[in-house]
Amino acid sequence: MLKIRMERLEEERLPRTDNFEIPLQKGMTVLEVLETIYRERDPTIAYRFSCRTGLCGTCGIMINHKSGLSCLKAAEAYSDGYLHLSPLPKGITVRDFVKEVK
């Protein structure tokens, strides 16, 4: 099982932290973790991805306190036993991991 600690933001609201636990499959990416949480645990989570459409970079989030592309980064726990996910620090967060696009 993989434990996930997710910091979720919404413009003009206080951040909140949600915890999830999902089965970890070999080779699973962070994007697959987000999709699993969306499908099986919380359909309100907001995130973006545009794989194979020429808009690379839309799935960028903070993964274990470092920026990365969720479609490329392997899902693995940080030293405290949790996979930490949060929105990128720059720009306006619309909701959860979705940043305003200009």
> Per residue of the chain (102 residues), what is the pLDDT tens digit?
999 999 998 766 778 899 999 999 999 999 999 999 999 999 999 999 988 777 788 999 999 999 999 999 999 999 999 999 999 999 888 899 998 876
2-8/60-63 β-pairing: unpaired
* Res 51: pLDDT: 83
CATH class given for the domain over 2-99: alpha beta
Q: Is the whole-model pTM more than 0.75?
A: yes
Distance spanning both ends of the chain, measured CA to CA:
38
Q: Report DSSP state, residue 23.
A: P
